[in-house]
Amino acid sequence: MNVRRAVGGAWGQGGRVKVRNTPLFLILVLVLATVLLLPAIALANSGILGDFQTAYPSSSSDNNASCQLCHGPTTGTFNAYGKAVSGVIDADTGVPDFAAIQGLNSDGDPTGSTNIQEINAGTQPGWTAGANNTLWSRSSGAVVATNQTPPAWITGSIDPDAATPTSTSLSIKAPRKVAKGTRVKITGVLSSADAACVNAQSVDLK
């Protein structure tokens, strides 16, 4: 049997094999390079998430959403919080200044909660419930989608619970004994956890 003929005439001088199928060879090289680069790519994408975990170690927002804390359904897009984070990344260290955007309500959720309030509550500063979210391109910064819903795989609550009304108390100060028909002034002090107001009202005792 002619071995050279069996391998399709791929033998060169000196009996060395010559790679004739160049496109296939390039594909193999590209696949190998991709496999070798995957850990570096994953590290680059997880870097900001690691910075967030360092800044807010007690928050569960990152655990509940992983990369979608800042990204859309794919890492090629930013959600509202990710867009804000991308604007405060230090050019030298690559670490975001999270404190600079803590006071924002990036996702515009109906409770009016700031980013730090959502982070402390373990909810999502970049997502609000329903089809009310905008996505931006990670590369260009342009809006690529509106009226988006949060990814279904995010666990936990998307928004904090709406604030419940605080209890109030009313104290009224009036003379202990007054003659019938005497006009007196009653001052009521309304107090709550959030505010205190004073209201004066004159009434006739009957």
* Per-residue pLDDT at 159: 97
150 and 108 within one domain: yes
145 and 47 within one domain: yes
Alpha helices in 56-114 (DSSP H): 61-65, 80-86
* Domain range for 182: 169-204
Residues 109-125: tens digit of each pLDDT: 999 999 999 999 999 99
* Per-residue pLDDT at 86: 95
Give how far Cα 68 sits from Cα of 20, 25, 80, 125, 150, Å.
Answer: 46, 37, 11, 11, 9
137 and 87 within one domain: yes
Name which of 188, 189, 121, 195 is nearest 165 in CA terms.
Answer: 195
What distance lies between CA 71 and its chain's CA centroid? Answer: 8
Per the structure, the count of domains in the chain is 2
180 and 82 within one domain: no
For the chain, list residues with pLDDT below 70: 1-22, 25-46, 163-206
185 and 160 within one domain: no
* Per-residue pLDDT at 162: 81
pTM score above 0.95:
no
**What distance in Å separates the CA atoms of residue 164 and residue 67, rounded to the nearest whole number?**
31
128 and 173 within one domain: no
90 and 64 within one domain: yes
195 and 143 within one domain: no
**What distance in Å separates the CA atoms of residue 196 and residue 169, rounded to the nearest whole number?**
10
